C-alpha cells in the first residue's frame, strides 16, 4: 500500500517536469489570485488504513481537488487538519470528500487599539493587592502566551533578574530571525516564535524585511505593550515624557512570557493564529492573551473561537479583547462562552490640559504633550481651522489645507476625523501654529478621555466644550487663549468609568450569554514600547521611547491575562472557567458610595451590557468562596443547545458528540457566572439553571436579588449548604418579565453570601 503513495508522489513529481505544466502555471497564477485560505478539519479517528500518517492522508484529500494547492500548516493540537489556499470551487469539492469535517475560510483579525499606537493606560498594582498575592516563585511557574506583534526584548520590562530558571515543563523556544536570536530570550521572555505563512499567502508575496522583521521582533509596539502589561518585570522610574512616572510593572510581574507573533502590518490571519495556538498548547502555556478580533461569527466559523476551545480543553485560560466599537451597542468580538472577553475602563489617573480663553473661561481637556509648554499667563490669538483654510474640509486640519499667514503664532481649533490626531498637530505646527485644540464630534463622544503624544501644546476637549470655544474664537473681535499642561493628575473621580470605545453588548451570537465578561483598565495605559517606531506610530515620528501610553481593549485584555496568571499560581488546580468565575463574581459594579459605575459617554450609570460582571478586583478574586465551573462537556452541550449540526460541533470541539435529543439542554443552562435575559413576546418567563462549586470552607450561602422594575426574580432554593470543599449545589432562577417596549433594557443582580464572601452575578434584561 505504501507503494501506491510513493507512486503517486513520483507521478506528481514527474508531472512537474513535463513542459506543458508550465503553460498551465501561468493560468494557475491568475487563479491563485482568487484563491483564499481555508482551514480544513479532518475526522482524525477515521483515517483510512492505507495512509501511513495523517499528513499523507490530508495531502491526498487535498490532491483530489487541486493539484497545485499545498498544505502550508498542519495542525495537531488545536484542530485535526491543515490550511491551504483554495478557490471557492475547490473548497466546495473538498467539503464533500470522505473524512472532511469542515472547510472554513480564514478570517482576518485586527488589533484592538483604535489605530497603531495612540491610546493609553496604567499598570500599577494596588498596595492592598501585593500583600495577598501568591509568592513570586509560584507565579514563576505560570507562563502567559501572548499572540500579538512580537516583542522588543531589550526594554527593562523583560529584565529577568531574580527569576528562577525556566520551568522544566516548558517546551517552547526562541526562534531566530531578523534582529532576533536565541540570546533575545531569557528567564522572563522564555519563548518567542513567529507565524507568517498565512500572511504571506494572503498578500501573495514574502514579507518585505525592510519594513517588518520576519522574526519575533516587534516593529509596531503593540505586542511589547500587551506582553509587558500582562507580565512585565517591575521597572523603577518608568514614565512617558514626564507623565505617569513611577514604577511600571506587569500584573503578574514574576510570571513568564512567551510571545507568538501572528499580527503583521497587514493584520492577523486565522491560519497563523491556529498554528500559534497549536504550538502554544504544545509548549505548555497556562494563559493565552489575544488583543485582536474579527467581528461576531458563529463559533464553528470563527477561527479564534475554535483555537480558544482547544486551549480551554487543555486547561489554558484564553483572555481576549471585546473590541473598540463602542459606544455603539451589539458589535463585540470574541464572544464564545469559553473565552474571557474583556472590555475597557478608565483609571483614576488623568492628563489634563486646560484651555484658558481671553474671556476668562477655562475648559479641561487632555494631552500628552511633553515639550516646552505655552505660557500660562500670556495669551496668544486663537482661530478656528475653517477660518484659516480655503478647503471645504478646512475644519479637519488635513495636510496642505491651512493657510500659513492665517495660522502663524496662533492656537488652531481642529475637528477630529479623517487623519490621525497627532498628525493634525504636525500640520498646525508646520503652518506656523503654536498650539492646537482638538474637538470631538458626535461620533466620538467622550473619546477625549484618551490622551495622545502630541508634537505641540494641545488639548483635546469634548464636543460641547469645543463648540463653546469655537463660538468665542469665531465671534470675538480679537480672541486669545493659552493651553496649560496639567501634568499627571491622580485620584480622578468617578473612576473607573466605561471607556467610550469599549465594545458593548448585547451578544448577538448567543443573546443568553452576557458579553463582555468584565472590564479592566484600558485607557491611557503605560507599558513597554518598541524601539522601531515613535510613540505615535507615525513613520515621521523620530522620537523613541521604551514606555508608551496607549488605549484600547487591547490594553485591558492583558491586564486580565496577568491577573488570571496570578489566580492560576494561587490555585493551580482551577479550570479556566473557575478562574474566570472568580474574576467575575468578585468584580464590582458600583463605587464606594453605592452608585453604579458610569459610562463616560452618558456620564450616567452604565449597564451590564457595557461592563459585564463589572470591574476586575484581583484581591477579592483570590478568595471567591464559590465558583461557577464548566467543562468541555458543558460547552459541548451548549453547542447542542445552539442547534449546531454534528459536523459544526466537531469543527469546534474536535470530538464526536451525540446530542441528547430527548433531554436537550437550553443555552440558558450553560453554567455561566452572569445572566443575560432576552424577553420575547412568547417567552417572558425564562428559567436558568446554575451549579456552584465550593472552593472555600464549609458554609451556608443565602441568596439575595435586587428589585427590578417590571421583572420578578424567583430563586430555588434560597439557601445552599456546602459541607466540604469542592462540593457542588444546583439552583434555578426564573425571571418573569412584564410586557415592555422593544429594546427596553434593565439591570439586576443576584448574590449568594455566607457573610464573608459575596458571589455576585449581574443580570442584563432586554426586551426583544
Ligand X SMILES: *[C@@H]1O[C@H](CO)[C@@H](O)[C@H](O)[C@H]1NC(C)=O
Give the active site residues.
148, 222, 554
Closer CB to ligand X, 377 or 663, in the complex: 663
Closer CB to ligand X, 108 or 637, in the complex: 637
Q: Which three cell numbers stand for residue 491?
A: 485620584
CB of 265 to ligand X, least distance (A): 22
CB of 504 to ligand X, least distance (A): 22
String marking each residue 629-648 x if it binds ligand X according to CB under 6 A: --------x----xx-----
Contact yes or no for 175/192 (Cβ under 8 A): yes
CB of 373 to ligand X, least distance (A): 26
Does residue 362 touch ligand X according to CB under 6 A?
no
Closer CB to ligand X, 16 or 176, in the complex: 176
DSSP code per residue over 54-73: HHHHHHHHHHTT-SS--EEE
Beta bridge partners of 121: 525
Closer CB to ligand X, 667 or 711, in the complex: 667
For the chain, count helices (H), then strands (E): 19, 40
Q: What burial letters (b/e) apply to 448-483, b meaning 16+ CB within 10 Å?
A: bbbbbbbbbbbbbbbbebbeebbebbeeeeebbbbb
Task: Give the N- to C-terminal CA distance of the chain in Å, as an integer.
Answer: 60
Does residue 403 touch ligand X according to CB under 6 A?
yes
Q: What burial letters (b/e) apply to 133-156, b meaning 16+ CB within 10 Å?
A: bbeeebbbbbbbbbbbbbbbbebb
Q: Which three cell numbers stand for residue 748?
A: 439586576
Q: Which of 77, 384, 460, 674 binds ligand X (CB under 6 A)?
A: 384
Contact yes or no for 548/115 (Cβ under 8 A): no
Does residue 220 touch ligand X according to CB under 6 A?
no
- Rounded to whole angstroms, how far apart are CA atoms 526 and 529? 9
CB of 561 to ligand X, least distance (A): 28
CB of 179 to ligand X, least distance (A): 7
User: Number of residues in contact with ligand X, rule: CB under 6 A?
Assistant: 14
Three-state SS letters, 94-152: HHCCCCEEEEEECCEEEECCCCCCCCCECCCCCHHHHHHCCCHHHHCCCEEEEEECCEC
Q: Which of 129, 203, 387, 687 binds ligand X (CB under 6 A)?
A: 387
Closer CB to ligand X, 156 or 637, in the complex: 637
Q: Which of 209, 390, 590, 704 binds ligand X (CB under 6 A)?
A: 390
User: How many C-beta atoms lie closer than 10 Å to residue 658's C-beta?
Assistant: 8
**Could you tell me which of 757, 563, 619 has the C-alpha nearest to residue 129?**
619
**Could you tell me which of 699, 730, 727 has the C-alpha nearest to residue 717?**
730
Q: Which of 20, 27, 33, 183 binds ligand X (CB under 6 A)?
A: 183
Does residue 155 touch ligand X according to CB under 6 A?
no
Beta bridge partners of 411: 382, 435
Q: What burial letters (b/e) apply to 495-522, b meaning 16+ CB within 10 Å?
A: bbbbbbbbbbbbbebbbbbbbbbbbbbb
Contact yes or no for 752/581 (Cβ under 8 A): no
Stretch that binds ligand X, among 219-227, 381-389, 489-497, 601-609 (CB under 6 A): 381-389
Q: Taking the mean position of all CA atoms in its chain, how far away is CA 545?
A: 24
CB of 392 to ligand X, least distance (A): 10
> Between helices 2-17 and 54-63, what is the axis angle to 10°?
50
Contact yes or no for 496/597 (Cβ under 8 A): yes
Does residue 430 touch ligand X according to CB under 6 A?
no
CB of 528 to ligand X, least distance (A): 17
User: How many C-beta atoms lie closer than 10 Å to residue 255's C-beta?
Assistant: 29
String marking each residue 55-74 x if it binds ligand X according to CB under 6 A: --------------------
CB of 242 to ligand X, least distance (A): 30
Closer CB to ligand X, 475 or 723, in the complex: 475
Q: Which three cell numbers stand for residue 764?
A: 442584563
- Rounded to whole angstroms, how far apart are CA atoms 4 and 747? 65
Does residue 732 touch ligand X according to CB under 6 A?
no
CB of 670 to ligand X, least distance (A): 10
Closer CB to ligand X, 304 or 667, in the complex: 667
92 three-class SS: helix
String marking each residue 224-243 x if it binds ligand X according to CB under 6 A: --------------------
Give CA angle at 281 (277, 286), nearest 5°. Answer: 105
C-alpha dist (Å) from residue 764 to 596, 635, 662, 750 = 14, 21, 30, 11
H-helix segments, 1-86: 2-17, 20-34, 54-63
CB of 663 to ligand X, least distance (A): 4
Closer CB to ligand X, 512 or 754, in the complex: 512
Closer CB to ligand X, 474 or 647, in the complex: 474
Does residue 768 touch ligand X according to CB under 6 A?
no
223 three-class SS: helix
Does residue 683 touch ligand X according to CB under 6 A?
no
Does residue 474 touch ligand X according to CB under 6 A?
yes
Closer CB to ligand X, 183 or 604, in the complex: 183
String marking each residue 653-682 x if it binds ligand X according to CB under 6 A: ----------x-x-x---------------
DSSP code per residue over 416-435: -BSB-HHHHHHHHHHTT--E
Does residue 729 touch ligand X according to CB under 6 A?
no
Stretch that binds ligand X, among 158-166, 209-217, 385-393, 677-685 (CB under 6 A): 385-393
CB of 643 to ligand X, least distance (A): 4
CB of 399 to ligand X, least distance (A): 12
Closer CB to ligand X, 75 or 309, in the complex: 309
Does residue 30 touch ligand X according to CB under 6 A?
no
Does residue 44 touch ligand X according to CB under 6 A?
no
Does residue 40 touch ligand X according to CB under 6 A?
no
Does residue 27 touch ligand X according to CB under 6 A?
no
Closer CB to ligand X, 379 or 708, in the complex: 379
Does residue 467 touch ligand X according to CB under 6 A?
no
Q: What burial letters (b/e) apply to 404-424, b meaning 16+ CB within 10 Å?
A: eebbeebbbbbbbbeebbbbb
Does residue 377 touch ligand X according to CB under 6 A?
no
Closer CB to ligand X, 496 or 506, in the complex: 506
Stretch that binds ligand X, among 39-47, 190-198, 383-391, 738-746 (CB under 6 A): 383-391
CB of 55 to ligand X, least distance (A): 33
Contact yes or no for 340/317 (Cβ under 8 A): yes
Does residue 34 touch ligand X according to CB under 6 A?
no
Does residue 181 touch ligand X according to CB under 6 A?
yes
Does residue 161 touch ligand X according to CB under 6 A?
no
Binding residues vs ligand X (CB under 6 A): 181, 183, 384, 386-387, 390, 403, 474, 637, 642-643, 663, 665, 667
Amino acid at each position: 500500500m505504501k507503494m501506491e503513495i510513493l507512486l503517486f508522489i513520483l507521478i506528481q513529481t514527474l508531472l512537474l517536469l513535463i513542459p506543458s505544466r508550465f503553460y498551465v502555471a501561468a493560468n494557475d497564477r491568475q487563479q491563485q489570485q482568487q484563491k483564499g485560505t481555508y482551514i480544513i478539519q479532518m475526522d482524525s479517528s477515521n483515517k483510512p488504513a492505507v495512509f501511513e500518517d495523517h499528513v499523507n492522508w490530508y495531502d491526498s484529500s487535498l490532491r483530489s481537488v487541486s493539484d497545485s494547492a499545498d498544505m502550508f500548516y498542519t495542525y495537531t493540537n488545536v484542530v485535526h487538519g491543515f490550511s491551504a489556499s483554495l478557490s471557492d470551487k475547490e473548497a466546495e469539492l473538498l467539503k464533500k470528500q470522505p473524512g472532511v469535517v469542515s472547510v472554513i475560510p480564514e478570517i482576518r483579525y485586527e488589533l484592538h487599539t483604535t489605530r497603531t499606537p495612540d491610546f493609553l493606560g496604567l499598570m500599577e498594582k494596588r498596595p492592598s493587592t501585593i500583600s495577598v498575592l501568591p509568592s513570586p516563585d509560584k507565579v514563576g511557574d505560570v507562563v502567559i502566551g501572548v499572540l500579538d506583534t512580537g516583542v522588543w526584548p531589550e526594554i527593562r520590562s523583560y529584565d529577568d533578574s531574580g527569576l528562577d530558571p525556566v520551568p522544566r515543563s516548558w517546551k517552547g523556544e526562541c526562534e531566530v530571525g531578523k534582529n532576533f536570536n536565541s540570546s533575545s530570550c531569557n528567564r522572563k521572555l522564555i519563548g518567542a516564535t513567529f507565524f507568517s505563512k498565512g500572511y504571506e499567502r494572503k498578500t501573495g508575496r514574502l514579507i518585505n524585511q525592510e519594513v517588518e522583521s520576519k522574526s519575533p521582533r516587534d516593529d509596531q509596539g503593540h505586542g511589547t505593550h500587551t506582553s509587558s502589561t500582562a507580565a512585565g518585570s517591575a521597572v523603577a522610574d518608568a514614565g512617558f515624557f514626564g507623565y505617569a512616572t513611577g514604577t511600571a510593572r506587569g500584573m503578574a510581574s514574576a510570571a513568564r512570557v512567551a510571545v507568538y507573533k501572528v499580527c503583521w502590518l497587514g493584520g492577523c490571519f486565522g491560519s497563523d493564529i491556529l498554528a500559534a495556538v497549536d504550538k502554544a498548547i504544545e509548549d505548555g502555556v497556562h494563559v493565552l492573551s489575544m488583543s485582536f478580533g474579527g467581528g461576531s461569527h458563529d463559533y464553528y466559523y470563527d477561527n479564534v473561537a475554535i483555537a480558544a476551545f482547544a486551549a480551554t480543553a487543555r486547561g489554558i485560560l484564553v483572555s481576549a479583547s471585546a473590541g473598540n466599537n463602542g459606544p455603539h451597542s451589539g458589535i463585540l468580538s470574541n464572544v464564545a462562552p469559553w473565552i474571557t472577553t474583556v472590555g475597557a475602563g478608565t483609571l483614576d489617573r488623568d492628563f489634563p490640559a486646560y484651555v484658558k480663553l481671553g474671556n476668562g473661561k477655562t475648559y479641561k481637556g487632555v494631552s500628552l504633550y511633553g515639550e516646552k509648554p505655552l505660557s500660562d499667563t500670556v495669551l496668544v490669538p486663537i482661530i478656528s481651522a475653517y477660518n484659516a483654510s480655503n478647503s471645504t474640509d478646512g475644519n479637519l486640519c488635513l495636510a496642505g489645507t491651512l493657510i500659513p499667514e492665517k495660522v502663524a503664532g496662533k492656537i488652531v481649533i481642529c475637528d477630529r476625523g479623517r487623519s490621525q490626531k497627532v498628525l493634525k498637530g504636525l500640520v498646525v505646527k508646520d503652518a506656523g501654529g503654536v498650539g492646537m485644540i482638538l474637538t470631538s464630534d458626535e461620533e466620538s463622544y467622550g473619546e477625549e478621555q484618551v490622551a495622545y503624544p502630541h508634537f505641540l501644546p494641545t488639548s483635546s476637549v469634548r464636543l460641547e466644550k469645543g463648540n463653546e470655544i469655537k463660538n468665542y474664537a469665531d465671534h470675538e473681535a480679537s480672541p486669545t487663549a493659552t493651553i496649560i499642561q496639567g501634568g499627571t493628575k491622580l485620584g480622578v473621580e468617578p473612576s473607573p468609568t466605561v471607556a467610550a470605545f469599549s465594545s458593548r453588548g448585547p451578544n448577538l451570537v448567543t443573546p443568553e450569554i452576557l458579553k463582555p465578561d468584565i472590564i479592566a483598565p484600558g485607557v491611557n495605559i503605560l507599558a513597554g514600547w518598541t524601539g522601531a517606531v515613535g510613540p505615535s506610530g507615525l513613520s515621521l515620528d523620530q522620537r523613541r521611547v521604551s514606555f508608551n501610553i496607549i488605549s484600547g481593549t487591547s490594553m485591558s485584555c492583558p491586564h486580565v491575562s496577568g491577573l488570571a496568571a496570578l489566580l492560576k499560581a494561587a490555585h493551580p488546580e482551577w479550570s479556566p472557567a473557575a478562574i474566570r468565575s472568580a474574576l467575575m463574581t468578585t468584580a464590582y459594579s458600583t463605587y464606594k458610595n453605592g452608585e453604579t459605575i458610569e459610562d463616560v459617554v452618558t456620564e450616567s450609570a452604565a449597564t451590564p451590557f457595557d461592563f459585564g460582571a463589572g470591574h476586575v478586583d484581583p484581591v477579592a478574586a483570590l478568595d471567591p468562596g464559590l465558583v461557577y465551573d464548566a467543562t468541555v462537556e458543558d460547552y459541548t452541550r451548549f453547542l447542542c443547545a445552539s442547534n449546531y449540526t454534528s459536523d459544526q460541533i466537531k469543527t469546534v470541539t474536535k470530538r464526536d458528540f451525540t446530542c441528547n435529543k430527548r433531554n436537550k439542554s437550553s443555552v440558558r443552562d450553560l453554567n455561566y457566572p452572569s445572566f443575560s435575559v432576552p424577553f420575547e413576546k412568547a417567552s417572558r418567563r425564562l428559567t436558568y439553571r446554575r451549579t456552584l462549586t465550593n472552593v472555600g470552607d464549609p458554609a451556608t450561602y443565602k441568596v439575595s436579588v435586587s428589585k427590578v422594575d417590571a421583572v420578578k426574580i424567583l430563586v430555588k432554593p434560597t439557601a445552599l449548604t456546602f459541607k466540604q470543599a469542592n462540593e457542588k449545589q444546583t439552583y434555578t432562577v426564573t425571571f418573569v418579565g412584564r410586557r415592555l417596549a422593544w429594546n427596553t433594557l434593565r439591570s439586576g443582580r443576584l448574590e449568594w453570601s455566607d457573610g464573608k464572601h459575596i458571589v455576585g452575578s449581574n443580570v442584563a434584561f432586554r426586551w426583544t
